[in-house]
Chain A
Amino acid sequence: MNPRYFPLAATIAIFIVAYAVCIGQYPNMLSTRVIGNLLTDNAFLGIAAVGMTFVILSGGIDLSIGAVIAFTGVFLAVLLEKTSIHPLVAFALALAITTAFGALMGAIIHHLEMPPFIVTLAGMFLARGMAFVLSIDSIPIKHPFYATLKGIYYKLPGGGRITFIGGLMLVVFAAGILIAHRTRFGANVYALGGGAPTARLMGVPIGRTTILIYALSGFLAGLSGIVFSLYTSAGYSLATVGVELDAIAAVVIGGTLLTGGSGFVAGTLVGILIQGLIQTYITFDGSLSSWWTKILIGLLLFAFILLQKGLIHLTDRRRRHA
């Protein structure tokens, strides 16, 4: 097998083994209801993580997504409360703003040659600050269209439901996989992650690709914000603090190299599902406290970093001998 696929295979194996262990202990976990809830509960995180996968594949990082999700939620809530425009128009407005915000960060990163870490950190402060300025209270969203959207679901055999937001996450993942592996933009992202000077020599438009990557991340963070507002039916400026860390963890557990250039969007989905599975297990168990989630995710993160390190070491040696 191509060593490129090792991390992805390891992630999928861990997920299957973990799920089997869970079922062994709680047979009820083998129901489509649990799977449906797994998708619904992690929909916003998954959509944001697709954007994060592209950013990390290109060798960058985006710390602003949690704040952008919160901003989108508050923006929608305020807009729907104060004006009478249709939610779909509000969605379009929110997506336009967050996409432009991401593109602006990308432009600053490229044109001012500043590290993505600091630029997106400033972006995080700015987006969170904008959310605070819009409203510091939690605003409920009572528009009937929200109820309609939440009522859409596909019934699985066994009583489970794939809700609108859970399905949307799967669609976004499918689109992400297509963009990453079947378009020129996707190839450019991988090339950029392999090394900017090499990519430039290959004729990759560095500036345009960088701006597009962060615009895509902003767009998906906005979409994630819409999903989160559907999920909670409210907008709150202190919501989704630290989601960027969960997203980064999911991307790494999904087998993407944090140095960029290697990884799969599909791996991120499994990474999200593993995190969701740990939480579901803790809920089922009842006696374990929620902080074990953090410790287990930290340990998984560490294990995957070691695995990647070992793989790079192996392939390097093989290349040297060849």
Chain B
Amino acid sequence: MTSTLKAYAVRLFPQVAALVVILLMVSFAFPDFFRLEMQNGRLYGSLIDILNRGAPVALLAIGMTVVIATKGIDLSVGAVMAICGAVAAACITSGYGLVGTLLVTLGTGILCGLWNGVLVAVLDIQPIIATLVLMVAGRGIAQLITEGAILTFNDPGLIFIGSGSLLGLPMPVVIWLVFGLVVSLVVRRTALGMLIEALGVNRRASMLSGVSTGVLLIAAYVLCGLCAAIAGIIAAADIRGADANNAGLWLELDAILAVVVGGNSLLGGRFSIAASLLGALIIQSVNTGILLSGFPPEFNLIIKAAIIVLILVIQSPRAQSAFVFLSRSQGAAPAKTEEEAK
């Protein structure tokens, strides 16, 4: 047990360290950063805000981690969010009731995932292109459902999902924490996680050793669609309306980024959902931090790009081999190899 814990600590150390450094840097610029308050039975504060605002990306990152572990990628999650938000708003306004609305919306997300999964697994299309189809067409479909307008609703049940609170935490935070925990347990307490990794490393080899790769691939994309549906419901409930143009816009890129910042390889194989969730929190902390510390928001994207490049350079195969070389040759002209790594 202690060895598994230690392995976890080693795996998650870079992400936790990065998160702590970023949070400390923000708290220098904004001293009240770590203050938490209880008001009306709900926690308030910048940290809670990061958890809350990061909910859609965190949810998307869960599904994206599994898809990327299969050596795939899902570009359509942002568009699926828009579709699901539109479906949720359309259902609730035409009187389906909360349970019916949620079921139909989650079903829509699963259907979108199924479409992607079938394209990738059965028709054997490259994931990046297969999901591009839904990414391009998805926003059009969402606008078709909302008929080009922003569909607003005021059903208290649906709004609760976006802005209510449970056990002192905002509802979106509870949802992504619980969902992340459930998915992690399902893939790590069964052989599923290992099979997915095997599939990502070598699809043919794992098929020959008896893994039903087709079903697993489709399941990965379905999970991704489901995550996008939940994120879409939260995004719509948060603004009490479905905006087909802007809901989930470019979130697919943030989700992929969260997975990469979480140290998962885009080439498939070993994955860690916890690390991806930390990656999502890092991205959100950077966003919130830049706003709080009074930097002009124009610099947001540049700082984000700089952080990505830094993390990618550290993770790149060349730099890794340079690190190995450095640790072996203990100070034998280390300055030169570091320069080469850059």
Give the interface of A toward B (CB within 8 A): 61, 108, 111-115, 117-119, 121-126, 128-130, 132-133, 136, 245, 248-249, 252, 258-259, 289, 291-295, 297-299, 301-302, 305-306, 309
- Residues of chain B lying within 8 A (CB to CB) of residue A61: 128
Q: Are A130 and B124 in touch, CB under 8 angstroms?
A: no
Q: How many A-B residue pairs have CB under 8 A?
A: 119
Give the distance to chain B from A211, nearest Cβ to Cβ, in Å. 16
A113-B317, A259-B126 given; A245·B266 CB < 8 A: no
- Residues of chain B lying within 8 A (CB to CB) of residue A125: 301-302, 304-305, 308
The answer to the question of B274 belonging to the interface, with a C-beta cut-off of 8 Å to chain A, is no
Give the distance to chain A from B339, nearest Cβ to Cβ, in Å. 13
- Residues of chain A lying within 8 A (CB to CB) of residue B270: none
The answer to the question of B42 belonging to the interface, with a C-beta cut-off of 8 Å to chain A, is no
Q: Are A291 and B301 in touch, CB under 8 angstroms?
A: no
Q: Which residues of B, 285-300, contact A by the 8 Å Cβ criterion?
A: 296-300
Give the distance to chain A from B70, nearest Cβ to Cβ, in Å. 16
Q: Are A112 and B316 in touch, CB under 8 angstroms?
A: yes
Stretch of B20-28, B59-67, B129-137, B182-190 contacting A (4+ beta carbons < 8 Å) = B129-137
- Residues of chain B lying within 8 A (CB to CB) of residue A121: 253, 256-257, 308
Give the distance to chain A from B149, nearest Cβ to Cβ, in Å. 11
Q: 14 new A-B pairs (CB below 8 Å) besides A112-B316, A113-B316? A: A112-B313, A114-B316, A117-B73, A122-B309, A125-B305, A129-B303, A130-B302, A132-B302, A133-B296, A258-B128, A291-B244, A294-B136, A298-B138, A305-B130
- Residues of chain A lying within 8 A (CB to CB) of residue B139: 291, 294
Q: Are A117 and B133 in touch, CB under 8 angstroms?
A: no
- Residues of chain B lying within 8 A (CB to CB) of residue A129: 298-305
- Residues of chain A lying within 8 A (CB to CB) of residue B333: none
Q: Are A298 and B301 in touch, CB under 8 angstroms?
A: no
A133-B298, A298-B136, A298-B137 given; A112·B319 CB < 8 A: yes
Q: Please give me the residue from chain B that is nearest to A245 by CB atom.
A: B136
Docked pose: A297 CA to B302 CA in angstroms? 32
Docked pose: A123 CA to B253 CA in angstroms? 12
Give the distance to chain B from A238, nearest Cβ to Cβ, in Å. 12
- Residues of chain A lying within 8 A (CB to CB) of residue B301: 125-126, 128-129, 132
B133, B253, B300, B302: the one contacting A302 at CB < 8 Å is B133
- Residues of chain B lying within 8 A (CB to CB) of residue A258: 126, 128-129
Stretch of B93-101, B140-148, B155-163, B166-174 contacting A (4+ beta carbons < 8 Å) = B140-148
- Residues of chain A lying within 8 A (CB to CB) of residue B244: 291
For the complex of A and B, list the 5 residue pairs with the smallest distance between their C-beta atoms, beginning with the closest: A298-B137, A129-B301, A294-B140, A129-B302, A291-B143
The answer to the question of B204 belonging to the interface, with a C-beta cut-off of 8 Å to chain A, is no
Q: Are B298 and A248 in touch, CB under 8 angstroms?
A: no
The answer to the question of B181 belonging to the interface, with a C-beta cut-off of 8 Å to chain A, is no
The answer to the question of B125 belonging to the interface, with a C-beta cut-off of 8 Å to chain A, is yes
Q: Are A117 and B144 in touch, CB under 8 angstroms?
A: no
Number of interface residues of B (CB under 8 A): 48
Give the distance to chain A from B292, nearest Cβ to Cβ, in Å. 18
The answer to the question of B123 belonging to the interface, with a C-beta cut-off of 8 Å to chain A, is yes
Q: Please give me the residue from chain B that is nearest to A295 by CB atom.
A: B140
Give the distance to chain A from B73, nearest Cβ to Cβ, in Å. 8
Q: Which residues of B, 191-212, contact A by the 8 Å Cβ criterion?
A: none
Docked pose: A306 CA to B260 CA in angstroms? 30
- Residues of chain B lying within 8 A (CB to CB) of residue A259: 126
Grouping DSSP codes into helix (H, G, I), strand (E, B) and loop, the B interface class, with mixed when no group exceeds half, is helix
Q: Which residues of B, 240-275, contact A by the 8 Å Cβ criterion?
A: 244, 253, 256-257, 260, 266-267
The answer to the question of B332 belonging to the interface, with a C-beta cut-off of 8 Å to chain A, is no
Q: What are 11 sample pairs from A and B whose C-beta atoms fall under 8 A apart?
A: A112-B319, A117-B266, A118-B266, A125-B301, A129-B299, A245-B135, A252-B129, A291-B139, A293-B140, A295-B144, A299-B137
- Residues of chain A lying within 8 A (CB to CB) of residue B128: 61, 117, 258
The answer to the question of B103 belonging to the interface, with a C-beta cut-off of 8 Å to chain A, is no
- Residues of chain B lying within 8 A (CB to CB) of residue A293: 140
B132, B296, B313: the one contacting A301 at CB < 8 Å is B132
Give the distance to chain A from B103, nearest Cβ to Cβ, in Å. 25
The 8 A CB mask of B224-243 against A (1 = contact, 0 = none) is 00000000000000000000
Docked pose: A61 CA to B257 CA in angstroms? 17
Residue of A136, A252, A291, A302 with most chain B CB atoms under a 10 A cut-off = A291
- Residues of chain B lying within 8 A (CB to CB) of residue A128: 301
Docked pose: A138 CA to B134 CA in angstroms? 32
Docked pose: A7 CA to B126 CA in angstroms? 18
Docked pose: A268 CA to B296 CA in angstroms? 40
Q: Are B300 and A114 in touch, CB under 8 angstroms?
A: no
The answer to the question of B312 belonging to the interface, with a C-beta cut-off of 8 Å to chain A, is yes
A111-B318, A125-B305 given; A118·B148 CB < 8 A: no
Give the distance to chain B from A54, nearest Cβ to Cβ, in Å. 18
- Residues of chain A lying within 8 A (CB to CB) of residue B296: 133
Give the distance to chain B from A27, nearest Cβ to Cβ, in Å. 28
Q: Are A115 and B266 in touch, CB under 8 angstroms?
A: yes
Q: Please give me the residue from chain A that is nearest to B253 by CB atom.
A: A121
A111, A113, A133, A248: the one contacting B302 at CB < 8 Å is A133
Docked pose: A297 CA to B132 CA in angstroms? 11
Give the distance to chain A from B252, nearest Cβ to Cβ, in Å. 10
Q: Please give me the residue from chain A that is nearest to B303 by CB atom.
A: A129
Q: Are B298 and A132 in touch, CB under 8 angstroms?
A: yes
Docked pose: A160 CA to B40 CA in angstroms? 68
Docked pose: A60 CA to B266 CA in angstroms? 14
Q: Are B140 and A309 in touch, CB under 8 angstroms?
A: no
- Residues of chain A lying within 8 A (CB to CB) of residue B144: 291, 295
B132, B318, B319: the one contacting A245 at CB < 8 Å is B132
Give the distance to chain B from A313, nearest Cβ to Cβ, in Å. 9
Docked pose: A127 CA to B252 CA in angstroms? 19
Docked pose: A33 CA to B148 CA in angstroms? 30
Q: Are B299 and A292 in touch, CB under 8 angstroms?
A: no
Give the distance to chain B from A116, nearest Cβ to Cβ, in Å. 11
Q: Are A289 and B143 in touch, CB under 8 angstroms?
A: yes
Docked pose: A258 CA to B119 CA in angstroms? 15
